[in-house]
């Protein structure tokens, strides 16, 4: 584009040729706009549509002449005008990108979009905005698929430990049943057996949590309590690998907003990875701290570490250094954290260990 513009401006001496070239430029931009698979539309200062490219019409399923001059709000963008980021950009000129938005087509079907809105300027003043967007249905579908595969694989990897975990209470229940059969009957036997059965039930439901697709349900979550639960699910895993997992917090009552099952999955991933990276006798530390408006969770190991050049690759699908790894765990975790408006960072040194730091916004802090 830039080189074409320069070319046109060089020809400025002849009035006629300039007009001709601007026509050509206009034609060229039209060609570019109509060949894009991304939707592009313009907004005037009132927030009405000033132009649309064919891809927009196709994705929204409305003819261009039905769109121009109209407002996108409460039609294909089901949002109040004043709440929309598009309008905010018209006011403050800031470029905004949203990779988790939704537009509606004329059939009333909602589809996930990623869009960027950029202000247009004329003589230094904002004259409108350009919105580019693409339909990300396929990407969302594959993310969902990867989340599910990672869950199943994690469930598979933990299955040996879980089977083992179920065998202990079963053995004890069997023992008590034999005692009862032999005529030794005590209430305490029944109590212990009930406790053991509860334990089996808990383990089975945790395994189901991993294997079954879940509906996202956001609610207040006591993050300290949740972390303790995750550590206890990984008990057998930690014993089998001879890696001690400890949990420490002075802020156990910190509350964040989120889907408890998804957050559990994140920390199952991180702690399982930390155990995998450790050698026998090492330990993995989980800490929950408070940092201003955030709950900060550290998962620290003293294991193999991650080479510096690989740090940037973390979170990309299928990056795995394990024979039976999926390379999906971190990708899925990063997605979940992002959806919870959290942040993640990693510090690692080869042969010294790795620390994953996760931050979630605190909702209510009962401390203060």
Whole-angstrom distance between the N-terminal and C-terminal Cα of the chain? 57
Contact 41, 131 (CB under 8 A): yes
147 binds ligand ADP (CB under 6 A): no
- Our CB check for Mg ion shows the closer of 270 and 302 to be 270
Residue 326 binds which of ligand ADP, Mg ion, none (CB < 5-8 A, kind-dependent): ligand ADP
- Our CB check for ligand ADP shows the closer of 53 and 354 to be 354
* Of residues 239-298, those binding ligand ADP (CB under 6 A): 269, 273-274, 277
Task: Please report how close the Cβ of residue 315 comes to ligand ADP at its closest, in angstroms.
Answer: 8
Binding mask 329-368 for ligand ADP (x = CB under 6 A): xx-----------------------x--------------
DSSP track, 196-245: HHHHHHHHHHHHHHHHS------EEEEHHHHHHHHHHHTHHHHHHHT-EE
Separation between Cα atoms, residue 276 and residue 100, nearest integer Å: 33
Half-sphere exposure of 2 (CA within 13 A, CB side): 0
Other CB atoms within 10 A of residue 315 CB: 19
The length of the chain is 368
- Given the structure tokens 């995998």, which residue do they identify? 276
- Our CB check for ligand ADP shows the closer of 109 and 351 to be 351
- Our CB check for Mg ion shows the closer of 227 and 277 to be 277
329 binds Mg ion (CB under 5 A): yes
- Given the structure tokens 């702690």, which residue do they identify? 271
Among 132, 273, 278, 333, binds Mg ion (CB under 5 A): 273
Among 39, 72, 169, 303, binds ligand ADP (CB under 6 A): 303
Contact 266, 227 (CB under 8 A): no
Sorted by sequence, the CB contacts under 8 Å of residue 24 that are 6+ apart come out as 8
Residue 39 binds which of ligand ADP, Mg ion, none (CB < 5-8 A, kind-dependent): none
- Our CB check for ligand ADP shows the closer of 146 and 254 to be 146
Sorted by sequence, the CB contacts under 8 Å of residue 19 that are 6+ apart come out as none
Task: Please report how close the Cβ of residue 322 comes to ligand ADP at its closest, in angstroms.
Answer: 4
Contact 212, 201 (CB under 8 A): no
Among 80, 164, 167, 322, binds ligand ADP (CB under 6 A): 322
315 binds Mg ion (CB under 5 A): no
> For binding to ligand ADP (CB under 6 A), which residues are involved?
269, 273-274, 277, 301, 303-306, 314, 319-322, 325-330, 354
């Amino acid at each position: 584009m830039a080189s074409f513009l320069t070319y046109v401006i060089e020809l400025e001496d002849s009035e006629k040729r300039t007009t001709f070239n601007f026509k050509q430029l206009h034609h060229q931009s039209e060609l570019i706009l109509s060949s894009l698979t991304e939707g592009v539309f313009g907004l005037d200062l009132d927030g009405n549509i000033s132009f649309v490219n064919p891809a927009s019409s196709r994705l929204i399923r409305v003819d261009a002449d039905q769109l121009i001059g109209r407002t996108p709000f409460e039609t294909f963008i089901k949002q109040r005008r004043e709440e929309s980021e598009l309008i905010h950009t018209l006011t403050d000129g800031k470029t905004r990108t949203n990779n988790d938005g939704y537009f509606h087509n004329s059939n009333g079907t909602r589809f996930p979009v990623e869009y960027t809105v950029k202000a247009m300027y004329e003589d230094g003043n904002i004259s409108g905005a350009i919105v580019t967007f693409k339909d990300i249905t396929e990407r969302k579908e594959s993310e969902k698929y990867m989340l599910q595969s990672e869950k199943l694989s994690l469930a598979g990897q933990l299955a040996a430990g879980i089977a083992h975990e179920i065998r202990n209470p079963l053995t004890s229940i069997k023992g008590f049943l034999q005692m009862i059969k032999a005529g030794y009957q005590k209430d305490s036997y029944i109590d212990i057996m009930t406790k053991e059965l509860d334990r089996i039930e808990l383990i089975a439901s945790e395994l189901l949590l991993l294997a079954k697709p879940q509906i996202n349900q956001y609610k207040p979550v006591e993050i300290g309590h949740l972390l303790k639960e995750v550590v206890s699910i990984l008990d057998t895993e930690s014993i089998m690998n001879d890696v001690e997992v400890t949990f420490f917090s002075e802020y156990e009552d910190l509350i964040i907003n989120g889907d408890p099952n998804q957050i559990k999955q994140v920390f199952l991933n991180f702690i399982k990875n930390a155990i995998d990276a450790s050698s026998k006798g090492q330990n993995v530390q989980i800490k929950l701290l408070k940092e201003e408006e955030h709950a900060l969770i550290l998962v620290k190991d003293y294991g193999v570490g991650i080479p510096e050049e690989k740090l940037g690759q973390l979170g990309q699908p299928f990056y795995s250094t394990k024979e039976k790894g999926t390379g999906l765990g971190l990708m899925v975790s990063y997605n979940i954290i992002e959806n919870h408006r959290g942040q993640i960072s990693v510090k690692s040194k080869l042969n010294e260990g790795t620390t994953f730091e996760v931050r979630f916004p605190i909702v209510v802090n009962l401390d203060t």
